[in-house]
Amino acid sequence: MDGVHHDITVGTKRGSDQLFSSVSNGPYIMSTTANGNDSKKFKGDIRGPSVPSRVIHIRKLPNDITETEVISLGLPFGDVTNLLMLKAKNQAFLEMNSEEAAQSMVSYYSTVMPIIRHHPVYVQFSNHKELKTDNSPNQERAQAALRALSTSHVDTTVPAPSTVLRVVVENLVYPVTLDALCQIFSKFGTVLRIIVFTKNSQFQALLQYPDGASAQAAKLSLDGQNIYNGCCTLRISFSKLTSLNVKYNNEKSRDFTRPDLPTGDNQPAMEHPAMATAFTPGIISAAPYAGAAHAFPPAFTIQPTVSSPYPGLTVPALPGTLASLSLPGATRLGFAPIPAGHCVLLVSNLNPERVAPHCLFILFGVYGDVMRVKILFNKKENALVQMSDSTQAQLAMSHLNGQRLHGKPLRITLSKHTSVQLPREGHEDQGLTKDYSNSPLHRFKKPGSKNYSNIFPPSATLHLSNIPPSVVEDDLKMLFSSSGAIVKAFKFFQKDHKMALIQMGSVEEAIESLIEFHNHDLGENHHLRVSFSKSSI
């Protein structure tokens, strides 16, 4: 045994397969061995993650791992100065250019699970302060890959043609948002301005850096990468524009140097006089599709958000080019699913006095269809939640991990189990296991459901819909305050009183209100629908 607790997987990959990976705050798992046939020097790496070193120890690598993939794990955090591959042991040592870079890398992978070719990979500090590699044949490839990637990472000898990049997203299976692109591209420099639009059913963006080196680094590192596993491929080229003229700060365009710009809700995002002639005819539109924000809603964002350097604008936190979540192969979209065992979540740190299967069914059901829930008989602060596929499991994990429920922050990791077992006939489990596979409350049963476009992180503001005409503002405010929560604000939608926004006193109160009042019978055959809103009142 290697001492690994198999119900917790840590660490993600930033390689050719995906840029977005799931968030998992599981603890680090240490290996007691790191030696391989290649080098007798590397033994007994039992150092905890609290003792920093420039050298990173990476374990549980797949058999067919490439040197480039290992180096790519480190590149978002700084330059990689050395590499030792121990393929016989499925391990590698990576040396970063500074302890700070190594610390950033280990810190990031303590909250995000590195997955290379569907294998969870474990990242920790090494005992060794530096790598001393020999010239043995099995290290030659590692050194060659290192030289190739290091020189291409930022080639300062060749000036970049432009500070503006044109980004085309091919094979757009999942929505890609302006914020998501900012997260990915900001690792290579400050993103000054960005515009997103659609042309000939292709989602595209223009993105401006303050200097050519940042643009060049981003192009070299990201061109050809997939944002999500198997889809949303980035095709990046230099733009002939030297600067972007952004008139509005909204979901279609953003100028981070001008927080004073209006939102211009119904205006086209980009009106640049040079656009019509800036590109080869037909490649890009001079009048971007005004509905881009509706076609590509900000669906997949990571929590918690952090303040941007510009007042009034917040962007989701992202410590690297690997952004918020992994969306590997959703079967409903025709992709091969990732290996079985990745659609069951282990939820821990629950309040055993208050948690019930139904409450987890409703909460996790915001991010996917929950098939079964099992609260563990002997450890009622733990539960297993089985989603309908791995995509939904990782969506739920990335949005709900760390959120407070009944006064305690949830801890969510992928479980070793492939499914939640129902109790055997005649075995009473006190109602702790529930099967919801035939529930009418699933939000995502219909292919192409608009609910896919309305997946947002938990927020204090809730979106209410399916409100009957007879129900007025006071009725709903009274309902939501009946559980002891504070209602701060309320607003019906102008055009349609079937929908409203209600702002609770905190995100935790909103979570508990959603659990309590989603599907609440309002009479007249109307059951209230409650979801998290991206808006505030």
**DSSP conformation class of 453:** G
Whether residue 8 lies inside any domain: the answer is no
Dihedral sign, CA of 36, 80, 95, 112? negative
Whether residue 189 lies inside any domain: the answer is yes
- Does 235 share its domain with 176? yes
Whether residue 324 lies inside any domain: the answer is no
Of 125, 151, 177, the residue at which a domain comes to its end is 151
Instruction: Convert 111-134 to b/e letters by CB count within 10 Å (16 or more is b).
Output: bbbbbbbbbbbbbbbbebeebebe
Of 202, 234, 255, the residue at which a domain comes to its end is 255
- Tokens in use for 494? 């102008």
- Does 144 share its domain with 172? no
* Edge-to-edge strands, sheet with 529-532: 487-492, 500-504, 461-465, 529-532
- The single residue listed with the structure tokens 């949303």 is 232
**DSSP conformation class of 314:** E
- Does 179 share its domain with 143? no
- CB neighbourhood size of 398 (10 A): 27
Mean of the per-residue pLDDT values for the chain? 74
Q: Which domain holds residue 486?
A: 456-532
Q: Exposed (0-12), middle (13-18) or buried (19+): which is 443, by Cβ within 10 Å?
A: buried
Mean of pLDDT values over 242-271: 77
- What is the total count of domains within the chain? 4
Whether residue 42 lies inside any domain: the answer is no
- Does 105 share its domain with 132? yes
Express as a percent the part of the chain with pLDDT over 70: 70
Whether residue 443 lies inside any domain: the answer is no
CA dist 80 and 110 (Å) reads 19
User: For 251-376, where are the alpha helices, taking DSSP H only?
Assistant: 275-278, 292-295, 357-364
- Does 59 share its domain with 144? yes
Q: Please write the tens of the pLDDT for every residue from 55-70.
A: 999 999 988 888 877 8
Q: Please write the tens of the pLDDT for every residue from 384-403.
A: 999 988 778 878 887 898 89
CA dist 482 and 476 (Å) reads 10
CATH of the domain at 187: 3.30.70.330
pTM: 0.44
pLDDT at 428: 67
3-state secondary structure 192-253: CEEEEEEECCEEEEEEECCCHHHHHHHHHHHCCCEEECCEEEEEEEECCCCCCCECCCCCCE
Whether residue 364 lies inside any domain: the answer is yes
Of 255, 290, 307, the residue at which a domain comes to its end is 255
Confidence bin at 436 (pLDDT 50/70/90):
very high
Q: Please write the tens of the pLDDT for every residue from 150-188.
A: 544 444 445 678 899 999 998 887 778 888 898 788 777
